[in-house]
Amino acid sequence: MEKIEYGFGQHLILDGYGCNREKLMDIDFIYDFLSNYPAEIEMTKIMPPYVFKYHAPVPEDWGISGFVIIAESHISIHTFPEKLYMSVDIFSCKDFDVDKAIRDITKIFEVKKSEIKVLDRGLEFPRSIRTVERFIRAERNQFTV
């Protein structure tokens, strides 16, 4: 009998400190990052990025936020140029090279210090419905007389 594979995917959460301020405040740079980066980690962009500048009630909290939907899930970024901080999330149902993504993002945004979390999402999510269906049918047949 086939083994049922579980797990929805990986979620990289990267908080970057001491980043390049000019890059964090450049809406075109952020757009280009979101537009081009999915291909770097072998993901499929299915729409153009959505990127906007946010003006916060507290002036130093302004920044740029954006996301791109990929066939495998999404990539998002939030920047705070006055604080030299950014957060990036890459969530994908397809495995990707998390270490490469960390190196790339660190280099692209000139991150001096980071906090990194990698989550395995949907631990009980069955990867193949057909495999689960066959398993359930076999299990049910085992108990019929």
Alpha-carbon span 76 to 92, nearest angstrom: 12
| Nearest alpha carbon to residue 64 among 47, 81, 41, 83 | 81
In the residue annotation, 78 being an active-site residue is answered as yes
Q: Is 73 a catalytic residue?
A: yes
Cα separation, 47 vs 115, in Å, equals 29
Which of the residues 65, 74, 76, 93 is marked catalytic? 93
Q: Is 19 considered catalytic here?
A: no
Q: Which of 78, 87, 114, 128 is catalytic?
A: 78
Residues 65 and 81: their CA atoms lie apart, in Å, by: 11
Which residues are tagged catalytic?
73, 78, 93
